[in-house]
Amino acid sequence: MAAKFTSCEEFINKVKASMPFLWVDTYEEHRALMDFVRVLQTTKVAGTDASYTAYTWDIIDGVRKISVNAQGEMVLNKPIEKTADPLKALQWFSSRDPNTQKPNVPDNTILFLKDMHTYMAKYNEADKVCRKIRNDLNDLKGSGKIIVVMAPVVEIPTTLDKDVNVINFRLPDRENLKKVLLSVCDSAGIDVNKTKYKNEVVPLEESLVDAALGMTENEAESAFCLCLIEARKFDPAIVRREKAAIVKKTKTLEVFDIGDLDLNAVAGCENLKAFLLRRKKGSSTKGKAYGVPALKGVVLVGPPGTGKSLSTKCSAGSLGRPLLKLDLGNVLDKYVGESEHRMRRVLEMADAISPCVLWISRTPRSPCLQ
């Protein structure tokens, strides 16, 4: 089984392998750029003591050199090439001195291109940009130079499909979200674990992080701050409510607030109840330490009105896991590649929120699923 790397590890491995064209799939452009630049500055080029150099381009600021200061903050220098044309940015990246034919941009340099997917979608622009990238690929690979497209979608033109390597920048994990929470606490002068919740002094850090799993860092920060505005204290219920609203925008997933529901609310289904209770023990800390495998899934089959939906909600409540509903009819789309993109987002969200219960529902609106 292949090892599972973090997004930064996957990125730096592909940089070391001199893959000349990368596509980073992310909504968190700033966080991804920060993480990548940090790891680039601490990574030495093979056989040397030199680090990699990084530049960024966007339609407003043109080409700018980027680095990280002693405080770990990203620094953007003054524009080197003030151009709104991506083709001119690529020409600058591969340009040579007309007299000596030496590259103007040093080897082992990474150019991060922002919003390039919008140019890839325009036929006239894409023709020139794609041709320029294809012309330069071999020279880039030999010099260690790498073009990195950063975009919230993966829309790769057919001509570049075999030349690009895609990196899925994952949503924040528990450690990232804890840092966001502590940053909000520092700004507000609050000790999260001394905040009262439901009239008791309880440790809230883990509950808040659990509630925020599946959100971006900006979304989590906004939800934590909203708690202090609305309730004058941290409340995981508010964070879960905000996450449900965010997930609903995807039109493919839905987060359910199951409240106090458990298997006692289901009549019958004794075999299902006994099975889930046994597996609940297996998913405990002791069960994992003993090597009990995680529960993979359950198929509930029956005509409408026989309690499948209620059993699903009660199962999530009994297991103490958040419940996500995936309607397969909302995943399918008439445009090529859109269904795959939606499914990838769904799986990314479920993986970030895990452990959770993913409720996969077949809908009559989808003839291909009937």
Q: What is the pLDDT of residue 301?
A: 81
pLDDT at 337: 59
pLDDT of amino acid 30: 92
Distance, CA of 94 to CA of 160 (rounded, Å): 18
User: What pLDDT shows up at residue 196?
Assistant: 54
Instruction: Quote the pLDDT of residue 298.
Output: 83
pLDDT value of residue 234:
87
CATH of domain 172-248: 1.10.8
- pLDDT, tens digit, 9 for 90 and up, residues 180-234: 999 999 888 887 766 555 544 446 788 888 888 888 999 999 999 999 999 888 8
Look at residue 207 in the predicted model and tell me its pLDDT. Answer: 82
pLDDT of the residue at 135? 92
For the chain, list residues with pLDDT below 50: 1-2, 199-202, 365-370
Architecture of domain 7-168: 3-Layer(aba) Sandwich (3.40)
CA-CA distance, 193 to 55, in Å (whole number)?
Answer: 41
Segments of the chain assigned E as strands: 21-25, 53-58, 62-68, 74-81, 109-114, 146-151, 165-168, 196-197, 200-201, 253-256, 323-327, 357-361
How many angstroms separate the CA atoms of 344 and 346, rounded? 5
Q: Where in the chain is the domain with CATH 3.40.50.300?
A: 250-285+299-370
Which one is the CATH code of 250-285+299-370: 3.40.50.300, 3.40.50.620, 2.40.480.10, 3.40.50.10490?
Answer: 3.40.50.300
- Contact (Cβ atoms closer than 8 angstroms) between residue 319 and residue 280: yes
Strands of the sheet containing 323-327, edge to edge, are 253-256, 323-327, 357-361
